[in-house]
Amino acid sequence: MIQILSYSIYLLISSFITIYVGWKCYKHGHIYILHLVHDERISMAINKILLLGYYLLNIGYISWSLSTWQHVTALPDVTAQISMKVGFITSILCVLHYTNITVIYFLRRLFNHSKNNIP
């Protein structure tokens, strides 16, 4: 019973974090992509594809992490497992976010540089 409780708590927390962070990045990230491509329709399409990839990656990780879950028998074990799993998924989200920002920055520099070299 405690195993099911720990799964449920983990799924609630990780789902909330995934949906909340994904929606915020989707909502506020559109302006960065629009600044890069200068086309509203293309930037919305790119933003939607990034959101879809983000959700798929996180659903995959959450599913995989449930399969690697250790058996818990007491409340301290539940807390430790949930903390480890949520901490790891939060770290992954942080790395993905900063990777995306870095890629957009370099693409913007590359795109602006190539526009300046065209006669």
pLDDT at 20: 92
Beta-carbon neighbour count of residue 89 at 10 Å?
20
Tally of structural domains, the chain: 1
Asked whether 86 and 13 are in contact (CB, 8 A), the reply is yes
Q: Which parts of the chain have pLDDT scores under 50?
A: none
Q: Where on the phi/psi map is residue 72: left (φ > 0), alpha (ψ -120 to 50), or beta? A: beta
Residue 112 sits in which domain range?
2-116
pLDDT at 11: 92
pLDDT at 32: 81
